[in-house]
Chain A
Amino acid sequence: MQTTTDDVLIARIASGDRLAMQVLFARHHVRVYRFVLRLVRNEATAEDLISEVFLDIWRQAGKFEGRSAVSTWMLSIARFKALSALRRRPEEELDEQTAERIEDQADDPETALAKKDKASVLRKCLSGLSAEHREIVDLVYYHEKSVEEVAEIVGIPQATVKTRMFYARKKLSELLKEQGVDRGWP
């Protein structure tokens, strides 16, 4: 079966094709939602934001020039919306120190390891990264964005993308070590 490309859908949306909008939404809304949710950490806010993201796509489709992938463009809009929402409610924003700390500290590292396998500890530590580090890890690993695309979405130079990813991974190793998992790196 043949699928219509995102570029073609955007061209149709630009001419007011509501069905094309439904197809694009069905294709991408879950990933956009998860990207936003990982940033704002609130499901209701994330749901509100994705309808805003896609409304922006509806409005701006005519200006899309196809210089980047549609998914990259969508994630740029989503990121902007998420950060704006976080700025609007600073009292709800997680304290960076709190965000970086692993929530469940009831068990000592040995007990934690005994209870859970390494993968679940790793996932827990991934959740414990700062918003900036979570964002880059998600973009690279989950959204499969290249160095160039991450640079475009986040609005930083490509060299900074690599550096930030390195420090995100370094922080992850430190969090794992706190949980009793020593990866021997860095």
Chain B
Amino acid sequence: MNTTNEQAHGRNEIEDLLPWLAAGTLSRRDAQRVEEALARDPELARRYEMVREEFADTIHLNETLGAPSARAMEALFAKIDAEPARAPKASFNIGMRIAEFFAGLSPRTLAYAASAAVLAIVLQAGVIGGIVLNEHGGAGYETASAPSTAPGVGAFTLIRFAPQASVDDINRFLESNKFSIVAGPVPGGLYRVRVAETELPKADLNAIVKKLQENKLVGFIATAK
């Protein structure tokens, strides 16, 4: 096939699809192909206008055909009533049941269901994560490179991180200062953070808090017991 023939072939193939483009029933890929051809070929675009006229007038013609009388529905239900009673189906289509179930839910119910599903996934992830950590000898949640220490031992602060602080920022902050989160977040977005592995004199702990108040990642900090 020479180039001209190939072009002619491609043109016909594209032109054949114009009625479906007008009706909006082409696949996205085909529609894009036809639209690109229309953009570069004025003659094809002129023919597409013809197709659009046919499309509009076919709809108009069909819409003027009227509708059947109530007789059609009456006849149908008279025949249905005369049918033998239908026994309940022994088997059921599980796919259809699921489709029916979801179709019956309101958008609000679906949103609640989705939230519940997300929560269930998060909880499941937490449980699995906990099992994995325990299997690897971890005592629980640890952050950065903080050593594992008994929860009640050390010096503690309550910190609320700045809203713009990312998880990476917080991890780096904890790692560089050898801090670890031992609890939280509690209401108010506060975390209980161990700032020393041994108990510190009050003045020393206040000095740490004062220093950390200057850190842009820290939105709020206070000493904790």
Binding site for B on A (CB under 8 A): 2, 4-5, 7-8, 11-12, 14-16, 18, 21-22, 25, 29-30, 33-34, 37-38, 43, 46-48, 50-51, 54-55, 58-59, 62, 66, 118-119, 122-123, 126-127, 137-138, 140-142, 144-147, 149, 162-163, 165-166, 169, 172, 183, 185
Contact A51 B75 (CB under 8 A): yes
Cβ distance B199 to chain A, nearest Cβ, rounded Å: 62
Q: Within 8 Å CB of A165, what residues of B?
A: 16, 19
**Given the complex of chains A and B, what is the CA–CA distance between A33 and B79 in angstroms?**
18
Task: Name the residue among A11, A22, A141 with the largest chain B CB count within 10 angstroms.
Answer: A141
Cβ of A15 and Cβ of B88 under 8 Å apart?
Answer: yes
List 27 A-B pairs, Cβ < 8 Å. A4-B103, A11-B100, A12-B100, A18-B80, A21-B80, A29-B68, A29-B72, A30-B67, A30-B68, A33-B65, A38-B62, A38-B65, A47-B68, A47-B69, A47-B75, A50-B76, A51-B72, A54-B76, A59-B83, A119-B53, A119-B60, A123-B61, A137-B58, A138-B58, A142-B58, A147-B20, A147-B25
Do B96 and A8 touch across chains, with their CB atoms under 8 A apart? yes
Residue of B nearest to A184 (CB): B46
* Interface members, chain B 40-70 (any A CB < 8 Å): 47, 50-51, 53-62, 65-69
Q: Is the CB of B96 within 8 A of A66?
A: yes
With contacts A11-B93, A119-B53, A165-B19 known, is A33 near B68, CB below 8 A?
yes
